[in-house]
Amino acid sequence: MQRQFLWIGFVLVSLFLAACGGSAPPPTPTAAPVAAAPADAAAVIDVVMHDIYFGDAPDNIENPPVWTVAAGAPFTINLENKGGLEHNWTALKPGVEPPMPFLPDQHGDLVLLTSSTVPPGQQLSETLTAPTEPGEYIVICTVAGHYPAMQGRLVVTP
């Protein structure tokens, strides 16, 4: 019986304190700390290459993959060739519409930035430097016959 009175007393005191809580402001949520990236940290982009398309689906003409980097900044490009043909990743100069067929030996003057060629089934990581001019650049594989099926876009932000 004594326990029952203690329990009822506890409930009543709890209700009284809750009712007299006044208008105290709700607690302010605290954000989890965010670690800042070092100022010299390079962006990393991952590129998967298949025969003959970049990314997850063979619809690069209608839906080209997009990679984003900061103007003039170094970035690491991780290339993974899951196909049976060699590939590369090449950004063309601004305003260039690649000719069809793109022939590397004849159209090399259109190239702004390029990776090494990645053999079938291999991976490669390189550090490149983004163009200094912000904008959107057409990216293609310059292996003969791979463009226009194998293309994407490099977005360079200010």
Instruction: Return the biggest CA–CA distance within the chain.
Output: 99
Q: Encoding tokens for residue 8?
A: 């009822």
The pLDDT tens digits of the residues spanning 95-152 come to 999 999 999 899 999 999 999 999 999 999 999 999 999 999 999 999 999 999 999 9
Q: Fill in the amino acid letter for 18.
A: A
What is the C-alpha separation between 21 and 15, in angstroms, rounded? 10
Homologous superfamily (CATH) of 43-157 is Cupredoxins -  blue copper proteins (2.60.40.420)
Q: Encoding tokens for residue 110?
A: 């259109």
| pTM (two decimals) | 0.73
- Tell me how crowded residue 63 is: count the other CB atoms within 10 A of its CB: 12
Q: Quick one: residue 135, left, alpha or beta (phi over 0 = left, psi -120 to 50 = alpha)?
A: left
